[in-house]
Amino acid sequence: MSVFSHREYDHHEKLIFHRDAASGLQAIVAIHNTNLGFALGGCRMWHYASEHDAVADVLRLSRSMTYKAAIAGLNLGGGKSVIIGDSRRDKTPDRMRAMGRLINSLQGEYVSAEDVGINERDIALMAGETPFVTGYKAVNRGGNGGDPSPLTAYGVFRGIEEAVRFRLNLDSLAGVRVAIQGLGKVGYELARLLSGAGAVVLASDIFSENLSPAIKELGVIPVAAGEIHRQAADVFSPCAMGAVLNAESIPEISAPIVAGSANNQLARSADGRRLADADILYVPDYVINVGGLIDVYYQYVGTDRREVRQHIDRVAGDTLPKIFHLAQERRVPTSEVADQLARERFMISSTSDAEVTWPLPAL
């Protein structure tokens, strides 16, 4: 496998392959860019179809974390790790501890947190081997640590509010139809917030145990997993895996807004243009889902976590409208505007030059 010519390789600084024979752990860590600070990004456990798919995923995810940190105004770099395996079948305490030792070997260059397939208990097991993890209740520096999923969902909720205000000229979500793809921890919390705001929530999930409580407790309307993006809705909200926005799916989307928590929603950069050409307002994934990163960063450095929501509100209330308006004025995709704003911040050589004011400066 050639890494430097890999289509997802983007001047990444490091790509580490690791196997622990005793536990059976097979993991990959990617560090994309550390111009602004140490790399922070979650650990994902997934049953990849191939090792090639795992490499592609970790490269894409780590790059996204660099852009996410930069657009959020955090002095962080981007990194990510993946464990190859089925989290429902292959996860063991020994493998989590082995992952902790791998993270520790990087001596703080990469700090991890939870992602798909990894929960607080797993991070706590890793923490027994390394101080370079965050996002669990016993985290020492933040004092009041915990699962970042609720704040990720809050950021997506606020982003949907801003997108609906801009695209539909509505100041309320009452009666707005939102189709959520994926009811994991973030998707379920998002459904709860939307239902509480009076939105009509349609949802799908490949796991019935995720969908059933949402139907019973929140009154969501169930939809078959392969049909959710085709629903007559005001907002399509991808909250599962990435690459769901592609040449095949985009023509089938009837919603005028796409806004969800999934990472790397665009299968290709050209899909941002496809959405714009289809007159669909795409809320860039790494901007709208930044709440979890802000939360685990605040936990790790020990900043008062009461400021987390205020920081998320600044991204939603200042940065997103700026992206929407610039894209409209310049007739370019929102994804391109967000990328340019992020690159202007992280493509520098020192954190002293990286301070950001709100709202972000004009392009």
Q: Extract long-range pairs of 137-140: CB within 8 Å, 24+ residues apart.
A: 139/299, 139/300
Q: How confident is the model at residue 144 (pLDDT cuts 50, 70, 90)?
A: low
Could you give the domains of the chain?
Answer: 14-127 (3.40.50.10860), 149-290+330-338 (3.40.50.720)
Identify the weakest region by mean pLDDT among 1-5, 23-27, 98-102, 275-279. Answer: 1-5
**Among 91, 185, 161, CA closest to 324:** 161
Peptide bond preceding 361 in cis form (omega within 30 of 0): no
Q: How confident is the model at residue 137 (pLDDT cuts 50, 70, 90)?
A: confident
pLDDT digits (tens, 9 = 90+) for 118-131: 999 999 999 999 99
d(CA 235, CA 158): 13
pLDDT digits (tens, 9 = 90+) for 55-89: 999 999 999 999 999 999 999 999 999 999 999 99
pLDDT of residue 306: 77
pLDDT of residue 42: 94
Is 60 exceeded by the pLDDT of residue 333?
yes
pLDDT of residue 354: 40
pLDDT digits (tens, 9 = 90+) for 149-208: 999 999 999 999 999 999 999 999 999 999 999 999 999 999 999 999 999 999 999 988
- The three-state secondary structure class of 355 is coil
pLDDT digits (tens, 9 = 90+) for 253-264: 999 999 999 999
The amino acid present at 92, given as its one-letter code, is T
pLDDT of residue 258: 98
pTM of this structure = 0.87
Mean pLDDT of 334-339: 97
Q: Residue 135: which region, alpha, beta or left (left: phi > 0; alpha: psi -120 to 50)?
A: left
pLDDT of residue 353: 42
The secondary structure element, H or E, covering residue 28 is strand 25-33
Q: Which of 68, 80, 91, 322 is catalytic?
A: 80
Mean pLDDT of 44-63: 95
And the tokens for 308?
């987390």
Is 80 exceeded by the pLDDT of residue 322?
yes
Identify the weakest region by mean pLDDT among 18-22, 284-288, 297-301. Answer: 297-301
Is 70 exceeded by the pLDDT of residue 22?
yes
Q: How confident is the model at residue 349 (pLDDT cuts 50, 70, 90)?
A: very low
Q: Are 261 and 156 in contact (CB under 8 A)?
A: yes
d(CA 48, CA 55): 10
Q: How confident is the model at residue 139 (pLDDT cuts 50, 70, 90)?
A: low
pLDDT of residue 8: 87
HEC secondary structure over 281-348:
EECCHHHHCCHHHHHHHHHHHCCCHHHHHHHHHHHHHHHHHHHHHHHHHHCCCHHHHHHHHHHHHHCC
Mean pLDDT of 223-232: 95
Mean pLDDT of 215-230: 95
Mean pLDDT of 93-112: 98
Average pLDDT, the chain: 92
**Among 171, 111, 145, 151, CA closest to 261:** 151
Is 60 exceeded by the pLDDT of residue 214?
yes
Q: Are 43 and 106 in contact (CB under 8 A)?
A: no
d(CA 214, CA 204): 10
Q: What is the CA radius of gyration of the chain?
A: 19
Is 50 exceeded by the pLDDT of residue 358?
no
Mean pLDDT of 262-272: 94
HEC secondary structure over 38-64:
CEECCEEEECCCCHHHHHHHHHHHHHH
Is 80 a residue of the active site?
Answer: yes
Mean pLDDT of 219-246: 95
Is 90 exceeded by the pLDDT of residue 297?
yes
Task: Give bridge partners of residue 222 from the DSSP assignment.
Answer: 203
Q: How confident is the model at residue 136 (pLDDT cuts 50, 70, 90)?
A: confident
pLDDT of residue 351: 42
DSSP annotation of 232: -
